[in-house]
Amino acid sequence: MSDYGDSDANWIFYQDRPEWSDVTPVPENDGPTPVVVINHSERFVDVYNYFRAVLQKDEKSERALELTKDAVELNSANYTVWQYRRDLLKALGTDLRLELDYVETVIKLSPKNYQVWHHRRVLVEWLQDPSLELDLTGDALEQDPKNYHAWQHRQWVIKTFGLFDNEMDFVDSLISDDVRNNSAWNQRYFIMNNHHGWTDENVQKEVAYTLEKIRFVKNNESSWNYLRGVLLHDCKGMSGNNAVKSFCEELYNKDCRSPYLLAMLIDCCDEAVKNEEMNDLYNAERAIELCQALANKYDRMRCKYWNYLCNKFKNFKNNATNKTDTKN
d(Cα 49, Cα 304) in Å, to the nearest integer?
55
Tell me which of 69, 112, 218, 312 is the catalytic residue.
112
| Among candidate residues 140, 230, 227, the one with its CA nearest the CA of residue 179 | 227
d(Cα 285, Cα 314) in Å, to the nearest integer?
8
Contacts (Cβ under 8 Å, ≥6 apart) of 45? 27, 28
Buried b (16+ CB within 10 A) or exposed e, 105-133: ebbeebbebebbbbbbbbbbeeeeebebb
Measuring CA to CA, how many Å separate 13 from each of 9, 40, 60, 132? 11, 15, 21, 36
CA of residue 8 relative to chain centroid, distance: 36
d(Cα 223, Cα 245) in Å, to the nearest integer?
16
218 given a catalytic annotation: no
Which residues form the catalytic set? 112
